[in-house]
Structure 1
Amino acid sequence: MFKYDIHEHAYLKLLDLSDVEELFALTERTRETLREWLLFVDDVKTVKDTERFVKNAMQQYADNNGLQAGIYYEGKLAGVIGYHQINWQHKWTSIGYWLGNEFVGKGLVTNSMKALMEYAFSYLKLNRIEVRVAVGNIRSRTIPKVLGFYEEGRVRDAEWLHDHYVDQVVYGLTAADWRKIKATNEDTVIL
């Protein structure tokens, strides 16, 4: 089972069926905030919808096509982060993430991203990670910038969001970039 400590109060764990109730409750508490930028919340109406998501995430991991991990803070499920899928032919993936309102500002996504970056480059031997974020989602756009991703461009009308299209900013990081970042920040811990 995938479990990774991100600091003394937080860790990542693969989502499994034991997480369904808590994940649904977190989604419910954060629904309005999430809905501003994430379309999936409109499809999560019942615990069964969350169970279906978790089962799909478990199958995704079993198929070696990515992972979805719960971000845990002080023993509570705080959010989700994961690889959307893995393109093994070209050795790249993309990462998505979200947090419950009460967990924002604790460095959880930044540290979770660092863990998934390390896992992707060192263990999975991928060459590239991408993050795509709606242009107006300033808080989420800050994460890849802080971690050294390059802003590679803007994709017009890239995502349907409820009743309109939004442009996305594409951020990219290569394995070579990651090695340089690690070499220059060997003793730095981002919290």
Structure 2
Amino acid sequence: MFKYDISENTYLKLLDLNDAEELFALTDRSRDMLREWLLFVDNVKTVKDTERFIQDAMQQYADNNGLQAGIYYEGKLAGVIGYHQINKEHNWTSIGYWLGSDFVGKGLVTNSMRAFIDYAFNYLKVHRIEVRVAVGNIRSRTIPKILGFNEEGRLREAEWLHDHHVDQVVYGLTATEWRKIKASSEEKVTL
């Protein structure tokens, strides 16, 4: 079972079927905000839809091909962060994330990303992490920038969003770059 403490009031936990009702309620409450950038929302109409997502996520974890974790803040499910897949041949993964509307602006995704980056490089031993974000999703694009990802390019019309294609920006980070970022931040703390 995967559980990762971020702070005294925030942790990540592998999603399981016990989370289905709370995750569905969070998705449903945040539907309008999430729908602007996330296509999956239209396919989540009942708790059963959320249960199927969690079952798929549990199978993904069992197959050692990534994980989907709930972001918990003050005991409440606040959002989801996950590795889309783990490409073992080329030794990379990509990360996706979302928060419920009640939890935006608390640094939860940024801190969850730090944990997921550390876990990917130190435990999963991947060499590279990618984040792909729709060009217009400024809030979501800020997170990889804050964490030291490099903007590597723009994929034209790479994502279908309800009734049109949108461009995506690709951000990348290697294990070597992350170690330098961590060393630099530790130096600043000790000075």
TM-score, normalising length from structure 1?
0.97
Deviation at 1:74, TM superposition (A): 0.2
CA distance in 1, matches of 2:90, 2:178: 17
* 1:125 corresponds to: 125
SS in 2 for 1:65: coil
* 1:30 corresponds to: 30
* 1:6 corresponds to: 6
* 1:168 corresponds to: 168
TM-superposition CA deviations, 1:89-134 (whole Å, max 9, x none): 1110000000001101111000000000000001111000000000
Deviation at 1:15, TM superposition (A): 0.2
Runs (5+) with no aligned partner, structure 1? none
1:172-183 alignment, distance < 5 Å: 172-183=172-183
TM-superposition CA deviations, 1:14-58 (whole Å, max 9, x none): 000010000000000000100000000010001000000000000
Runs (5+) with no aligned partner, structure 2? none
CA distance in 1, matches of 2:66, 2:188: 28
SS in 1 for 2:30: helix
Letter in 2 for 1:7: S
* 1:98 corresponds to: 98
Change (3 A) 1:159 1:148: same
1:104-119 alignment, distance < 5 Å: 104-119=104-119
* 2:79 is the counterpart of 1:43: no
Change (3 A) 1:79 1:47: same
Deviation at 1:188, TM superposition (A): 7.0
SS in 1 for 2:31: helix
* 2:63 corresponds to: 63
Deviation at 1:144, TM superposition (A): 0.1
SS in 2 for 1:160: strand
Letter in 1 for 2:29: R
Instruction: Kindly report the root-mean-square deviation, in angstroms, between the aligned alpha carbons of the 2 structures.
Output: 1.0
**Paired-residue identity, %:** 81
CA distance in 2, matches of 1:5, 1:187: 23
TM-score, normalising length from structure 2?
0.97
Aligned residue pairs: how many?
189
CA distance in 2, matches of 1:46, 1:154: 35
CA distance in 2, matches of 1:5, 1:123: 15
* 2:140 is the counterpart of 1:140: yes
CA distance in 1, matches of 2:88, 2:181: 24
Moved over 2 A (4+): none
Deviation at 1:170, TM superposition (A): 0.2
Deviation at 1:186, TM superposition (A): 1.7
Deviation at 1:79, TM superposition (A): 0.1
CA distance in 2, matches of 1:6, 1:187: 21
Letter in 1 for 2:126: L
Change (3 A) 1:107 1:175: same
